[in-house]
Amino acid sequence: MAWRRLACVSVTFLLMGVLPRTALAAAPLSDAGPLLQEMGKQIQDQSLPTTERLQIIGVFGAWATAQVVPPLLAALKDPKPEIREAAAQALGWRGNKEAVQGLRERVESPDEVAAVKAAAVRSLGRIGDASVRPLVIALTRDPDTSIRQAAVWSVALGLLVDPTDQTGYLIEVAEDRKEKGQVRADAIRTLVQKGKEERVVNSLMGILEHEPRLKVELPSPQPTQDQIVYLRYTQANDVPAWAAGALGALDARVALPLLLKAAEDPQDYFLRLMALDSLVTWNVPEAFPVYVGRLEDPLQELRLAALAGLEKLGDPRGVDPVLAHLNDSNPTVRARVVTVLASLGGSKVRPQLEALDEKEIAPEVLQALEAALKQPAR
């Protein structure tokens, strides 16, 4: 991995213009030590622009070896809080015990600003030295939000986890609306791994019922790379959707009314999809009208999920609403409609399938029709 780190350093500083191209081009991998030493001196050079020093600190954090620890520890005592904060963050890699004492000093310093303390606490959580766990536990009740969040994350999702108290801290993270959505979603997914407990189910139900909804716009048929990145970011931060998925994974049937409602949420398609997937997994008859309604959903993935739910239920009442979608605009959906009709309707839907077979041109639909029409009459 060292060559990748060196490549990162080279590219970063070529862009920054901190080091001359010739120096970087001439430095073989074996000479990384002197290069890092020179960069470490630049971190401590207060005559350089702060942004330049911060960029070097960021590169050192990505490098994450013993070679960069001394200059980063020195930066923990820099006059500028933004430099101390960046250095505290950069020192947080697994097993970096050399940094524990310096980070601890920042946390325990009465004059240190909250942002630096929070960065130091989170790095202690990433390092995983058990000796600081009592300190971090005490900080889970700190009056400052950023410090408290860093401490709770460290004992809930970081490397200072203790299985005996992790569930409580995970719930705290999951319910904290001031915490980042992606962190809360991580906590929810981890709660599922802890198993089904009443307090976990109650917490997830509370999130699903009361959490403000995101307005997630439907993706375009051919989204750009930027749109894909945005959608993935939004989904990763959609806390109610992850709660719906978790309740399904935990088989928490007490949450059925909430999932039925969430599956028809008007503005968050990802929440609808997660709730619908949970309902399909449970295979509950109460979901029948929801499945029928989702056949009209503008997102094909939801229409496909609704079809899967109707097929799994095996309720013959589903034949007529599914028949209405033999002309769905999406060939993947049409193919699934054919399969579901063959499963639910048998010979009763054969005339409609034969009529579609005469005009269909999409290969995947024709393949589904061939399989359906070969089934024996019943």
**Tokens in use for 102?**
């310096």
Q: What is the pLDDT of residue 220?
A: 77
Going from the C-alpha of 330 to that of each of 268, 300, 333, 335, the distances in angstroms are: 21, 7, 5, 9
- Kindly list the domain boundaries of the chain, sorted by start residue: 163-278, 283-378
User: Average pLDDT, stretch 335-341?
Assistant: 96
**Contact status, residue 300 vs residue 337, Cβ threshold 8 Å:** no
- What's the pLDDT tens digit per position in 155-200? 999 999 999 999 999 999 999 999 999 999 999 999 999 999 999 9
Instruction: Quote the tokens at residue 67.
Output: 């070679």
Residue 287 has what DSSP assignment? G
**What's the rounded Cα separation, in Å, for the pair 121 and 337?**
54
Q: Tell me the Ramachandran region of residue 251: left when phi exceeds 0, alpha when psi lies from -120 to 50, beta otherwise.
A: left
pTM: 0.85
pLDDT-wise least confident of 71-80, 198-207, 221-230: 221-230
What mean pLDDT is predicted for residues 204-208? Answer: 98
283-378 CATH fold: Leucine-rich Repeat Variant (1.25.10)
